[in-house]
Structure 1
Amino acid sequence: MTGLPTPTFVETSYGRLAVYSAGSNTSLPAIFCIHGNSSSSEIFRPIFQSGISATRRVLSFDLPGHGESENAKDPERTYTMPAYAKAAAEVLQKLEIPKVVVLGWSLGGHIGVEMLPLLPGTMKGLVMFGSLLVSLYPQPLDDERTRWNLRQDHSKEELEGFARGGTGGPYEEWMARACIRTDPKARCVLFQNLGYADCSDQQRLAAETSVPTMVIVGNDEPHLDNGMIKGLKYGNLWSGEVIDIPGGQHCPLWEKPEIVIPKLEKFLADVDN
Protein backbone atom coordinates (compact mmCIF):
# COMPACT_ATOMS: atom_id res chain seq x y z
CA MET A 1 0.00 0.00 0.00
CA THR A 2 1.37 3.39 -0.98
CA GLY A 3 1.52 6.27 1.44
CA LEU A 4 1.65 8.82 -1.37
CA PRO A 5 -1.08 10.87 -3.04
CA THR A 6 -2.68 9.34 -6.14
CA PRO A 7 -0.40 10.16 -9.08
CA THR A 8 -1.30 12.35 -11.99
CA PHE A 9 0.49 11.93 -15.31
CA VAL A 10 2.47 14.48 -17.28
CA GLU A 11 3.26 14.01 -20.95
CA THR A 12 6.89 14.88 -21.69
CA SER A 13 9.28 14.30 -24.57
CA TYR A 14 10.70 11.48 -22.41
CA GLY A 15 7.37 9.71 -21.96
CA ARG A 16 4.31 9.78 -19.72
CA LEU A 17 5.56 10.37 -16.19
CA ALA A 18 3.84 9.84 -12.85
CA VAL A 19 3.79 12.88 -10.56
CA TYR A 20 2.78 12.98 -6.89
CA SER A 21 1.67 16.25 -5.30
CA ALA A 22 0.59 17.45 -1.86
CA GLY A 23 0.05 20.94 -0.47
CA SER A 24 -0.82 24.02 -2.48
CA ASN A 25 1.03 27.03 -1.10
CA THR A 26 2.57 28.69 -4.16
CA SER A 27 4.16 31.70 -2.43
CA LEU A 28 7.06 29.55 -1.19
CA PRO A 29 9.33 27.37 -3.33
CA ALA A 30 7.93 23.91 -3.95
CA ILE A 31 10.09 20.95 -2.95
CA PHE A 32 10.64 18.52 -5.81
CA CYS A 33 11.92 15.05 -4.84
CA ILE A 34 13.87 12.75 -7.16
CA HIS A 35 14.46 9.12 -6.21
CA GLY A 36 17.36 6.78 -6.81
CA ASN A 37 18.24 3.99 -9.23
CA SER A 38 15.61 1.21 -9.38
CA SER A 39 13.43 2.83 -6.72
CA SER A 40 10.33 5.04 -6.83
CA SER A 41 8.73 8.10 -5.26
CA GLU A 42 7.59 5.92 -2.35
CA ILE A 43 10.98 6.54 -0.73
CA PHE A 44 9.79 10.10 -0.03
CA ARG A 45 6.84 9.01 2.09
CA PRO A 46 8.44 10.60 5.20
CA ILE A 47 8.33 14.00 3.48
CA PHE A 48 4.77 13.61 2.21
CA GLN A 49 3.64 12.54 5.68
CA SER A 50 5.49 15.36 7.46
CA GLY A 51 4.18 18.86 8.06
CA ILE A 52 6.13 20.28 5.12
CA SER A 53 3.13 20.14 2.78
CA ALA A 54 1.26 22.45 5.16
CA THR A 55 3.61 25.28 4.16
CA ARG A 56 4.43 24.56 0.53
CA ARG A 57 3.80 22.22 -2.35
CA VAL A 58 5.56 18.85 -2.13
CA LEU A 59 6.19 17.08 -5.43
CA SER A 60 7.89 13.92 -6.59
CA PHE A 61 7.96 12.00 -9.84
CA ASP A 62 8.87 8.51 -10.91
CA LEU A 63 11.81 8.60 -13.29
CA PRO A 64 11.23 7.25 -16.80
CA GLY A 65 11.37 3.46 -16.67
CA HIS A 66 10.57 3.46 -12.94
CA GLY A 67 7.49 3.23 -10.73
CA GLU A 68 4.26 4.28 -12.42
CA SER A 69 6.03 6.14 -15.23
CA GLU A 70 6.26 4.48 -18.61
CA ASN A 71 9.37 2.91 -20.08
CA ALA A 72 11.39 4.95 -22.54
CA LYS A 73 10.67 4.59 -26.23
CA ASP A 74 14.28 5.66 -26.85
CA PRO A 75 16.36 4.29 -23.93
CA GLU A 76 19.68 5.74 -25.11
CA ARG A 77 18.17 9.23 -25.18
CA THR A 78 16.25 8.91 -21.93
CA TYR A 79 18.14 6.93 -19.28
CA THR A 80 21.16 9.18 -18.67
CA MET A 81 21.60 11.64 -15.83
CA PRO A 82 21.37 14.71 -18.10
CA ALA A 83 18.25 13.28 -19.79
CA TYR A 84 16.61 12.58 -16.44
CA ALA A 85 17.39 16.19 -15.48
CA LYS A 86 15.74 17.46 -18.65
CA ALA A 87 12.72 15.25 -18.00
CA ALA A 88 12.46 16.66 -14.48
CA ALA A 89 12.72 20.22 -15.80
CA GLU A 90 9.95 19.46 -18.31
CA VAL A 91 7.71 18.24 -15.50
CA LEU A 92 8.27 21.45 -13.55
CA GLN A 93 7.59 23.51 -16.66
CA LYS A 94 4.37 21.64 -17.43
CA LEU A 95 3.24 22.13 -13.82
CA GLU A 96 4.15 25.83 -14.00
CA ILE A 97 6.31 25.73 -10.87
CA PRO A 98 8.04 29.14 -10.60
CA LYS A 99 10.37 28.39 -7.67
CA VAL A 100 11.68 25.06 -6.48
CA VAL A 101 14.00 23.34 -4.05
CA VAL A 102 15.22 20.10 -5.62
CA LEU A 103 15.83 17.18 -3.26
CA GLY A 104 17.58 14.10 -4.60
CA TRP A 105 18.50 10.76 -3.09
CA SER A 106 21.43 8.82 -4.58
CA LEU A 107 20.93 9.04 -8.37
CA GLY A 108 18.42 11.80 -7.64
CA GLY A 109 21.17 13.97 -6.16
CA HIS A 110 23.20 13.64 -9.35
CA ILE A 111 20.11 14.60 -11.35
CA GLY A 112 19.55 17.62 -9.12
CA VAL A 113 23.05 18.89 -9.88
CA GLU A 114 22.49 18.30 -13.60
CA MET A 115 19.39 20.52 -13.28
CA LEU A 116 21.35 23.54 -12.02
CA PRO A 117 22.12 24.97 -15.48
CA LEU A 118 18.61 24.09 -16.70
CA LEU A 119 16.77 26.16 -14.06
CA PRO A 120 18.60 29.48 -13.67
CA GLY A 121 16.64 31.65 -11.28
CA THR A 122 14.08 28.90 -10.64
CA MET A 123 16.06 26.55 -8.40
CA LYS A 124 16.24 28.16 -4.98
CA GLY A 125 17.86 25.27 -3.14
CA LEU A 126 19.38 21.82 -3.61
CA VAL A 127 19.37 18.93 -1.14
CA MET A 128 21.38 15.75 -1.70
CA PHE A 129 21.79 12.62 0.37
CA GLY A 130 23.59 9.42 -0.57
CA SER A 131 25.16 11.12 -3.60
CA LEU A 132 28.87 11.10 -4.50
CA LEU A 133 29.05 13.45 -7.48
CA VAL A 134 31.08 12.42 -10.51
CA SER A 135 33.57 14.33 -12.57
CA LEU A 136 34.32 13.28 -16.14
CA TYR A 137 36.16 10.08 -16.94
CA PRO A 138 38.15 9.30 -20.12
CA GLN A 139 36.25 6.04 -20.56
CA PRO A 140 33.26 4.23 -19.01
CA LEU A 141 33.75 2.77 -15.55
CA ASP A 142 34.47 -0.95 -15.25
CA ASP A 143 34.07 -1.71 -11.56
CA GLU A 144 31.92 -4.40 -9.98
CA ARG A 145 28.95 -2.09 -9.38
CA THR A 146 29.00 -0.93 -13.01
CA ARG A 147 29.21 -4.45 -14.39
CA TRP A 148 26.24 -5.50 -12.24
CA ASN A 149 24.10 -2.63 -13.49
CA LEU A 150 25.06 -3.26 -17.11
CA ARG A 151 23.43 -6.68 -16.96
CA GLN A 152 19.83 -7.09 -18.11
CA ASP A 153 19.30 -10.67 -16.95
CA HIS A 154 18.99 -10.31 -13.17
CA SER A 155 16.80 -12.78 -11.33
CA LYS A 156 14.03 -11.59 -9.01
CA GLU A 157 16.16 -12.75 -6.10
CA GLU A 158 19.10 -10.62 -7.23
CA LEU A 159 16.88 -7.57 -7.64
CA GLU A 160 15.31 -8.11 -4.24
CA GLY A 161 18.80 -8.23 -2.74
CA PHE A 162 19.67 -4.98 -4.51
CA ALA A 163 16.51 -3.37 -3.13
CA ARG A 164 17.28 -4.54 0.41
CA GLY A 165 20.72 -2.94 0.18
CA GLY A 166 19.34 0.42 -0.89
CA THR A 167 18.50 1.49 2.65
CA GLY A 168 19.34 0.43 6.17
CA GLY A 169 15.68 -0.32 6.79
CA PRO A 170 12.95 -0.64 7.57
CA TYR A 171 12.69 -2.83 4.48
CA GLU A 172 9.28 -2.88 2.81
CA GLU A 173 8.02 -5.03 -0.06
CA TRP A 174 7.44 -2.04 -2.34
CA MET A 175 11.22 -1.66 -2.57
CA ALA A 176 11.61 -5.04 -4.27
CA ARG A 177 8.57 -4.41 -6.47
CA ALA A 178 10.04 -1.09 -7.59
CA CYS A 179 13.39 -2.67 -8.39
CA ILE A 180 11.85 -5.59 -10.30
CA ARG A 181 9.55 -3.20 -12.18
CA THR A 182 12.43 -0.93 -13.32
CA ASP A 183 13.28 -1.19 -17.01
CA PRO A 184 16.58 -3.16 -17.07
CA LYS A 185 17.75 -0.87 -19.86
CA ALA A 186 17.54 2.04 -17.41
CA ARG A 187 20.33 0.62 -15.24
CA CYS A 188 22.40 -0.37 -18.26
CA VAL A 189 22.26 2.97 -20.08
CA LEU A 190 22.78 4.92 -16.86
CA PHE A 191 26.04 3.15 -16.07
CA GLN A 192 27.26 3.21 -19.66
CA ASN A 193 27.11 7.00 -19.38
CA LEU A 194 28.13 7.57 -15.75
CA GLY A 195 30.75 10.34 -15.76
CA TYR A 196 31.09 9.79 -19.49
CA ALA A 197 29.46 10.69 -22.81
CA ASP A 198 26.93 13.52 -22.25
CA CYS A 199 27.28 13.49 -18.45
CA SER A 200 28.30 16.84 -16.93
CA ASP A 201 31.23 17.43 -14.62
CA GLN A 202 28.93 17.40 -11.62
CA GLN A 203 31.69 18.18 -9.16
CA ARG A 204 32.39 21.40 -11.05
CA LEU A 205 28.69 22.33 -11.22
CA ALA A 206 28.34 21.88 -7.44
CA ALA A 207 31.53 23.84 -6.77
CA GLU A 208 30.49 26.79 -8.92
CA THR A 209 26.83 27.17 -8.00
CA SER A 210 25.53 29.92 -5.74
CA VAL A 211 22.35 27.92 -5.04
CA PRO A 212 22.13 26.99 -1.33
CA THR A 213 23.10 23.33 -1.11
CA MET A 214 22.38 20.93 1.74
CA VAL A 215 24.42 17.71 1.70
CA ILE A 216 23.49 14.84 4.02
CA VAL A 217 25.29 11.56 4.66
CA GLY A 218 24.57 8.64 6.94
CA ASN A 219 27.30 7.86 9.46
CA ASP A 220 27.04 4.20 8.49
CA GLU A 221 26.89 4.70 4.69
CA PRO A 222 27.68 1.23 3.24
CA HIS A 223 28.16 2.05 -0.45
CA LEU A 224 29.92 5.41 -0.74
CA ASP A 225 33.02 7.05 0.74
CA ASN A 226 31.74 9.79 3.04
CA GLY A 227 35.25 11.24 3.16
CA MET A 228 35.11 11.84 -0.57
CA ILE A 229 31.65 13.43 -0.34
CA LYS A 230 32.90 15.75 2.41
CA GLY A 231 36.06 16.50 0.45
CA LEU A 232 34.25 17.89 -2.58
CA LYS A 233 33.85 21.63 -3.04
CA TYR A 234 30.35 23.09 -2.82
CA GLY A 235 29.79 26.67 -3.92
CA ASN A 236 27.21 27.48 -1.24
CA LEU A 237 27.17 24.70 1.34
CA TRP A 238 24.39 25.22 3.88
CA SER A 239 25.66 25.28 7.48
CA GLY A 240 29.21 25.23 6.12
CA GLU A 241 29.53 21.47 6.40
CA VAL A 242 28.18 18.15 5.19
CA ILE A 243 25.61 16.93 7.71
CA ASP A 244 26.19 13.55 9.38
CA ILE A 245 23.13 11.59 10.46
CA PRO A 246 23.92 9.19 13.34
CA GLY A 247 22.77 5.69 12.48
CA GLY A 248 21.93 6.71 8.92
CA GLN A 249 23.06 4.55 6.03
CA HIS A 250 22.48 5.15 2.28
CA CYS A 251 19.07 6.79 2.72
CA PRO A 252 19.01 8.78 5.98
CA LEU A 253 15.63 10.29 5.11
CA TRP A 254 14.04 6.83 5.19
CA GLU A 255 16.14 5.44 8.04
CA LYS A 256 16.14 8.44 10.39
CA PRO A 257 13.28 10.75 9.37
CA GLU A 258 12.95 12.02 12.94
CA ILE A 259 16.42 13.58 12.54
CA VAL A 260 16.37 14.52 8.86
CA ILE A 261 12.94 16.17 8.59
CA PRO A 262 13.65 18.90 11.21
CA LYS A 263 16.97 19.70 9.50
CA LEU A 264 15.22 19.85 6.14
CA GLU A 265 12.58 22.18 7.57
CA LYS A 266 15.32 24.50 8.87
CA PHE A 267 17.03 24.52 5.48
CA LEU A 268 13.75 25.34 3.76
CA ALA A 269 13.11 28.18 6.21
CA ASP A 270 16.55 29.63 5.46
CA VAL A 271 15.92 29.37 1.72
CA ASP A 272 12.57 31.11 2.15
CA ASN A 273 14.29 34.02 3.90
Structure 2
Amino acid sequence: MSTKFLHVSNGTLAFDDSGGSGPLVVMVPGMGDVRAEYRFLAPKLAAAGYRVVTMDLRGHGESSADWPDYSIEAVGRDMLALVDHLNAGPATLVTTSYPTGAAVCAAAERPDAIRALVLIGAFVRDPEMSALQKLMLGLLLKGPWRVRAWDMYYNSLYPSQKPADLGGYRRELRANLSEPGRFEALKAMSGEPRIESERRLGQVQASALVVMGSKDPDFPSPEAEAQFIAQQLAGQILMVDGAGHYPHAEMPDVVIPAMLKFLAEVTQRNGTTTRTN
Protein backbone atom coordinates (compact mmCIF):
# COMPACT_ATOMS: atom_id res chain seq x y z
CA MET A 1 0.00 0.00 0.00
CA SER A 2 1.54 3.30 -1.07
CA THR A 3 2.07 6.15 1.37
CA LYS A 4 -0.08 9.24 0.97
CA PHE A 5 0.59 12.66 2.44
CA LEU A 6 -1.58 15.39 3.89
CA HIS A 7 -0.10 18.87 4.14
CA VAL A 8 -1.23 20.74 7.25
CA SER A 9 0.02 23.83 9.03
CA ASN A 10 3.74 23.42 9.88
CA GLY A 11 4.20 19.97 8.40
CA THR A 12 3.15 16.87 6.49
CA LEU A 13 1.31 13.80 7.79
CA ALA A 14 1.90 10.36 6.25
CA PHE A 15 -0.93 7.85 5.98
CA ASP A 16 -2.18 4.88 4.02
CA ASP A 17 -5.73 4.08 3.01
CA SER A 18 -7.36 0.74 2.31
CA GLY A 19 -10.02 2.52 0.26
CA GLY A 20 -13.59 1.46 -0.25
CA SER A 21 -16.87 2.92 0.91
CA GLY A 22 -17.18 1.21 4.29
CA PRO A 23 -17.33 2.98 7.66
CA LEU A 24 -14.15 4.96 8.26
CA VAL A 25 -11.64 3.80 10.87
CA VAL A 26 -8.57 6.00 11.46
CA MET A 27 -5.73 4.40 13.43
CA VAL A 28 -2.89 6.35 15.05
CA PRO A 29 0.05 4.61 16.80
CA GLY A 30 1.77 5.46 20.04
CA MET A 31 4.76 7.76 20.39
CA GLY A 32 8.02 6.17 19.36
CA ASP A 33 6.10 3.87 17.03
CA VAL A 34 4.90 3.95 13.43
CA ARG A 35 1.61 3.16 11.74
CA ALA A 36 2.72 -0.44 11.07
CA GLU A 37 1.94 -0.95 14.76
CA TYR A 38 -1.51 -1.92 13.43
CA ARG A 39 -0.12 -4.48 10.95
CA PHE A 40 -2.15 -7.32 12.50
CA LEU A 41 -5.33 -5.36 13.13
CA ALA A 42 -5.77 -3.18 10.04
CA PRO A 43 -6.04 -5.99 7.44
CA LYS A 44 -8.72 -7.77 9.49
CA LEU A 45 -10.81 -4.62 9.78
CA ALA A 46 -10.45 -3.91 6.07
CA ALA A 47 -11.48 -7.49 5.26
CA ALA A 48 -14.59 -6.95 7.39
CA GLY A 49 -15.63 -4.06 5.17
CA TYR A 50 -14.21 -1.02 6.95
CA ARG A 51 -12.22 1.71 5.25
CA VAL A 52 -9.04 1.61 7.31
CA VAL A 53 -6.61 4.52 7.35
CA THR A 54 -3.42 4.44 9.43
CA MET A 55 -1.55 7.68 10.10
CA ASP A 56 1.94 8.35 11.42
CA LEU A 57 2.12 10.81 14.30
CA ARG A 58 3.71 14.18 13.59
CA GLY A 59 7.47 13.74 13.87
CA HIS A 60 7.25 9.96 13.47
CA GLY A 61 7.42 7.38 10.69
CA GLU A 62 7.10 9.04 7.30
CA SER A 63 5.47 12.22 8.59
CA SER A 64 7.74 15.28 8.53
CA ALA A 65 10.20 15.42 11.42
CA ASP A 66 10.23 18.94 12.82
CA TRP A 67 7.10 20.51 14.33
CA PRO A 68 6.69 23.45 16.70
CA ASP A 69 3.96 21.77 18.74
CA TYR A 70 3.65 18.15 19.92
CA SER A 71 0.76 18.63 22.36
CA ILE A 72 -2.23 16.31 22.47
CA GLU A 73 -4.37 19.21 21.25
CA ALA A 74 -2.17 19.55 18.15
CA VAL A 75 -2.25 15.80 17.48
CA GLY A 76 -6.04 15.87 17.88
CA ARG A 77 -6.21 18.58 15.22
CA ASP A 78 -4.14 16.34 12.94
CA MET A 79 -6.70 13.57 13.32
CA LEU A 80 -9.58 15.91 12.53
CA ALA A 81 -7.72 17.34 9.54
CA LEU A 82 -7.27 13.83 8.13
CA VAL A 83 -10.92 12.90 8.72
CA ASP A 84 -12.01 16.10 6.98
CA HIS A 85 -9.58 15.47 4.12
CA LEU A 86 -10.91 11.95 3.56
CA ASN A 87 -14.48 13.30 3.49
CA ALA A 88 -15.81 9.91 4.59
CA GLY A 89 -16.69 10.47 8.23
CA PRO A 90 -17.81 10.30 10.86
CA ALA A 91 -14.85 8.16 11.86
CA THR A 92 -13.89 5.74 14.56
CA LEU A 93 -10.50 6.68 16.02
CA VAL A 94 -8.28 3.81 17.15
CA THR A 95 -5.32 5.10 19.15
CA THR A 96 -2.62 3.73 21.43
CA SER A 97 -0.91 5.34 24.42
CA TYR A 98 -0.03 9.02 23.86
CA PRO A 99 -2.57 9.90 21.12
CA THR A 100 -5.46 8.47 23.14
CA GLY A 101 -5.60 11.85 24.87
CA ALA A 102 -5.58 13.53 21.47
CA ALA A 103 -8.49 11.35 20.36
CA VAL A 104 -10.48 12.39 23.42
CA CYS A 105 -9.85 16.06 22.62
CA ALA A 106 -10.83 15.55 18.97
CA ALA A 107 -14.05 13.73 19.86
CA ALA A 108 -15.02 16.40 22.39
CA GLU A 109 -14.23 19.19 19.93
CA ARG A 110 -15.99 17.69 16.89
CA PRO A 111 -18.72 15.18 17.79
CA ASP A 112 -19.94 15.46 14.20
CA ALA A 113 -16.64 14.03 12.93
CA ILE A 114 -15.94 11.28 15.48
CA ARG A 115 -18.52 8.58 16.18
CA ALA A 116 -16.46 6.16 18.29
CA LEU A 117 -13.17 5.77 20.12
CA VAL A 118 -11.02 2.70 20.72
CA LEU A 119 -8.43 3.66 23.33
CA ILE A 120 -5.58 1.17 23.80
CA GLY A 121 -3.18 1.46 26.74
CA ALA A 122 -4.73 4.85 27.27
CA PHE A 123 -2.86 7.80 28.76
CA VAL A 124 -5.65 10.35 29.10
CA ARG A 125 -4.44 11.84 32.38
CA ASP A 126 -1.02 12.60 33.77
CA PRO A 127 0.52 9.60 35.54
CA GLU A 128 1.78 9.89 39.09
CA MET A 129 5.56 9.47 38.99
CA SER A 130 8.05 9.20 41.82
CA ALA A 131 11.30 11.18 41.79
CA LEU A 132 13.14 7.98 40.86
CA GLN A 133 10.79 7.29 37.94
CA LYS A 134 11.28 10.83 36.65
CA LEU A 135 15.04 10.42 36.91
CA MET A 136 14.95 7.10 35.04
CA LEU A 137 12.76 8.59 32.31
CA GLY A 138 15.18 11.48 31.91
CA LEU A 139 18.11 9.09 31.56
CA LEU A 140 16.17 6.99 29.06
CA LEU A 141 15.55 9.96 26.77
CA LYS A 142 19.02 11.54 26.93
CA GLY A 143 22.49 10.67 25.74
CA PRO A 144 23.91 8.73 22.80
CA TRP A 145 22.32 5.53 24.07
CA ARG A 146 18.78 6.89 23.91
CA VAL A 147 17.57 4.98 20.83
CA ARG A 148 18.95 1.69 22.15
CA ALA A 149 17.54 2.41 25.62
CA TRP A 150 14.11 3.16 24.16
CA ASP A 151 14.29 -0.07 22.16
CA MET A 152 14.96 -2.07 25.32
CA TYR A 153 12.05 -0.36 27.06
CA TYR A 154 9.83 -0.99 24.03
CA ASN A 155 10.69 -4.69 24.09
CA SER A 156 9.59 -4.86 27.74
CA LEU A 157 6.08 -3.74 26.77
CA TYR A 158 5.36 -7.24 25.39
CA PRO A 159 5.61 -9.34 28.59
CA SER A 160 3.87 -12.56 27.53
CA GLN A 161 3.72 -13.21 23.77
CA LYS A 162 6.16 -11.25 21.66
CA PRO A 163 5.07 -11.11 17.99
CA ALA A 164 7.13 -13.36 15.72
CA ASP A 165 8.27 -10.35 13.70
CA LEU A 166 9.17 -8.16 16.69
CA GLY A 167 12.93 -8.39 16.14
CA GLY A 168 12.72 -7.04 12.60
CA TYR A 169 10.07 -4.54 13.58
CA ARG A 170 12.28 -3.14 16.34
CA ARG A 171 15.17 -2.77 13.91
CA GLU A 172 12.93 -0.66 11.68
CA LEU A 173 11.85 1.46 14.66
CA ARG A 174 15.47 2.02 15.71
CA ALA A 175 16.34 3.13 12.19
CA ASN A 176 13.40 5.53 12.09
CA LEU A 177 14.16 6.99 15.53
CA SER A 178 17.78 7.52 14.46
CA GLU A 179 16.72 9.88 11.67
CA PRO A 180 17.21 13.62 12.37
CA GLY A 181 14.42 15.06 14.49
CA ARG A 182 12.62 11.79 15.19
CA PHE A 183 13.76 11.19 18.75
CA GLU A 184 13.29 14.86 19.53
CA ALA A 185 9.62 14.42 18.64
CA LEU A 186 9.32 11.42 20.96
CA LYS A 187 11.06 13.30 23.77
CA ALA A 188 8.81 16.33 23.32
CA MET A 189 5.67 14.19 23.50
CA SER A 190 6.89 12.44 26.63
CA GLY A 191 6.82 15.77 28.46
CA GLU A 192 3.44 16.99 27.25
CA PRO A 193 0.64 17.23 29.85
CA ARG A 194 -2.69 15.39 29.55
CA ILE A 195 -4.67 17.92 31.59
CA GLU A 196 -6.85 18.86 28.64
CA SER A 197 -7.84 15.30 27.75
CA GLU A 198 -8.72 14.48 31.36
CA ARG A 199 -10.80 17.65 31.55
CA ARG A 200 -12.69 16.81 28.37
CA LEU A 201 -13.49 13.16 29.09
CA GLY A 202 -16.99 14.05 30.26
CA GLN A 203 -17.66 16.05 27.08
CA VAL A 204 -17.21 13.11 24.70
CA GLN A 205 -20.40 11.89 23.03
CA ALA A 206 -18.79 9.12 20.98
CA SER A 207 -19.10 5.44 21.88
CA ALA A 208 -15.93 4.13 23.50
CA LEU A 209 -14.02 0.89 24.00
CA VAL A 210 -11.07 0.90 26.41
CA VAL A 211 -8.54 -1.87 25.68
CA MET A 212 -5.95 -2.56 28.38
CA GLY A 213 -3.40 -5.30 28.96
CA SER A 214 -3.50 -6.71 32.48
CA LYS A 215 0.32 -6.59 32.61
CA ASP A 216 0.77 -3.12 31.13
CA PRO A 217 3.88 -1.88 32.99
CA ASP A 218 3.01 1.78 32.40
CA PHE A 219 0.24 1.73 35.01
CA PRO A 220 0.34 0.79 38.72
CA SER A 221 -3.08 -0.82 38.23
CA PRO A 222 -4.06 -1.25 34.56
CA GLU A 223 -7.54 -2.45 35.48
CA ALA A 224 -8.21 0.54 37.75
CA GLU A 225 -7.08 2.94 35.03
CA ALA A 226 -9.29 1.24 32.44
CA GLN A 227 -12.25 1.41 34.81
CA PHE A 228 -11.68 5.13 35.47
CA ILE A 229 -11.58 5.96 31.75
CA ALA A 230 -14.55 3.77 30.85
CA GLN A 231 -16.65 5.30 33.63
CA GLN A 232 -15.86 8.81 32.45
CA LEU A 233 -16.80 7.90 28.87
CA ALA A 234 -19.69 5.55 29.71
CA GLY A 235 -17.76 3.06 27.61
CA GLN A 236 -16.89 -0.63 27.45
CA ILE A 237 -13.72 -2.32 28.73
CA LEU A 238 -11.66 -5.13 27.22
CA MET A 239 -9.03 -6.37 29.68
CA VAL A 240 -6.53 -8.60 27.89
CA ASP A 241 -5.12 -11.08 30.38
CA GLY A 242 -1.33 -11.25 30.33
CA ALA A 243 -0.82 -8.56 27.69
CA GLY A 244 1.32 -5.46 28.06
CA HIS A 245 1.06 -2.00 26.50
CA TYR A 246 0.32 -3.28 22.97
CA PRO A 247 -2.36 -5.96 23.44
CA HIS A 248 -3.52 -5.66 19.81
CA ALA A 249 -0.04 -6.66 18.63
CA GLU A 250 0.77 -9.08 21.44
CA MET A 251 -2.55 -10.93 21.47
CA PRO A 252 -4.39 -9.98 18.27
CA ASP A 253 -6.53 -13.13 18.40
CA VAL A 254 -8.14 -11.75 21.56
CA VAL A 255 -8.40 -8.10 20.56
CA ILE A 256 -9.58 -8.40 16.95
CA PRO A 257 -12.88 -10.24 17.62
CA ALA A 258 -13.76 -7.85 20.46
CA MET A 259 -12.98 -4.82 18.34
CA LEU A 260 -14.99 -6.12 15.39
CA LYS A 261 -17.94 -6.72 17.72
CA PHE A 262 -17.69 -3.17 19.09
CA LEU A 263 -17.40 -1.66 15.61
CA ALA A 264 -20.39 -3.69 14.42
CA GLU A 265 -22.47 -2.33 17.31
CA VAL A 266 -21.41 1.23 16.48
CA THR A 267 -22.11 0.68 12.79
CA GLN A 268 -25.55 -0.78 13.49
CA ARG A 269 -26.51 2.16 15.71
CA ASN A 270 -25.51 4.56 12.96
CA GLY A 271 -27.40 2.73 10.22
CA THR A 272 -24.43 1.78 8.03
CA THR A 273 -23.37 -1.67 6.89
CA THR A 274 -20.23 -3.72 6.39
CA ARG A 275 -19.50 -7.06 4.78
CA THR A 276 -20.39 -10.09 6.84
CA ASN A 277 -18.19 -12.59 5.02
Q: Do Structure 1 and Structure 2 share a fold, with TM-score over 0.5?
A: yes
- Indicate the residue corresponding to 2:6 in structure 1: 10
Q: Secondary structure at the match of 1:38?
A: coil
Corresponding letter in the other structure for 1:258? D
Work out the CA distance in 1 between the residues paired with 2:15 and 2:56. Answer: 7
| Maintained 8 Å contact 2:108/2:204 | no
What secondary structure sits across from 1:18 in the alignment? Answer: strand
Residue in 2 that maps onto 1:34: 28
For 1:37 and 1:148, locate their aligned partners in 2 and report how far apart those are by CA, in whole Å: 17
Q: Note if contact 1:39-1:175 (Cα within 8 Å) is conserved in structure 2.
A: no
Q: Tell me which amino acid in the other structure corresponds to 1:41.
A: R
Which of residues 39, 53, 56 in structure 2 aligns to 1:59?
Answer: 53
Query: Is residue 128–residue 214 contact of structure 1 (8 Å, CA) maintained in 2?
Result: yes
2:185 paired residue number: 186
CA distance in 2, matches of 1:121, 1:222: 35
Say if 1:80 and 1:193, in contact at 8 Å, map to a contact too.
Answer: yes
Q: 2:191 and 2:217 mapped to 1: Cα distance?
A: 23
Partner letter of residue 214 of structure 2?
N
Contact 1:66 1:178 (8 Å CA) reproduced? no
Q: Does 1:249 align with 2:244?
A: yes
Matches within 5 A, 1:113-262: 113-134=104-125, 143-144=134-135, 146-148=137-139, 151=142, 153-168=144-159, 169-170=162-163, 171-182=166-177, 183-195=182-194, 200=196, 202-224=197-219, 225-226=221-222, 227-232=224-229, 233-238=231-236, 242-262=237-257
148 and 59 in structure 1: CA distance in 2 versus 1, 3 angstrom threshold:
farther
Aligned counterparts of 1:48 and 1:247: Cα–Cα separation in 2: 22
Give how far 1:12 is off: 1.4
2:272 aligns with none
- What is the CA-CA distance between 1:99 and the residue it aligns to? 1.2
Question: Displacement of 1:265 after TM fit?
Answer: 0.6
Equivalent pairs counted in the alignment come to 254
2:215 alignment partner, SS class: coil
Matched-pair identity in %: 19
Distance (whole Å) between structure 1 residues aligned to residue 110 and residue 95 of structure 2 = 15
Aligned equivalent of 2:63, options 49, 69, 80: 69
Q: CA deviation at 1:215?
A: 0.3
Q: Provide closer, same or farther for how the CA distance between residues 32 and 66 of structure 1 changes in structure 2, counting only shifts above 3 A.
A: same
Contact 1:104–1:127 (CA<8 Å) still a contact in 2? yes
- Equivalent in the alignment of 2:74: 83
CA distance in 2, matches of 1:213, 1:51: 17
SS of match in other structure, 1:258: helix
Q: TM-score, normalised by structure 1?
A: 0.83
Confirm or deny that 1:269 pairs with 2:267. no
Q: Is the 8 A contact 1:159 1:180 kept in 2?
A: no
Quickly say closer, same or farther: Cα 1:149–1:128, change in 2 above 3 A.
farther
Tell me the alpha carbon deviations over residues 110-149 of structure 1, each in whole angstroms, 9 at most, x when there is no partner.
Answer: 2211212332211110001111321599xxxx82464246
Cα shift at 1:56:
1.7
Q: Which amino acid aligns with 2:206?
A: V
Contact 1:127–1:214 (Cα < 8 Å) also in 2:
yes
Q: For structure 2, which runs of at least 5 residues remain unmatched after alignment?
A: 269-277
- Give the letter for the 2:106 counterpart: M
Q: Unpaired runs of 5+ in structure 1?
A: none
Distance 1:64 1:145, change over 3 A: farther
Corresponding residue to 2:102 among 87, 111, 115: 111
1:188 deviates by: 2.5
Q: TM-score, normalised by structure 2?
A: 0.82
1:49 alignment partner, SS class? helix
Question: Which deviates the most, 244-253 or 115-124?
Answer: 115-124
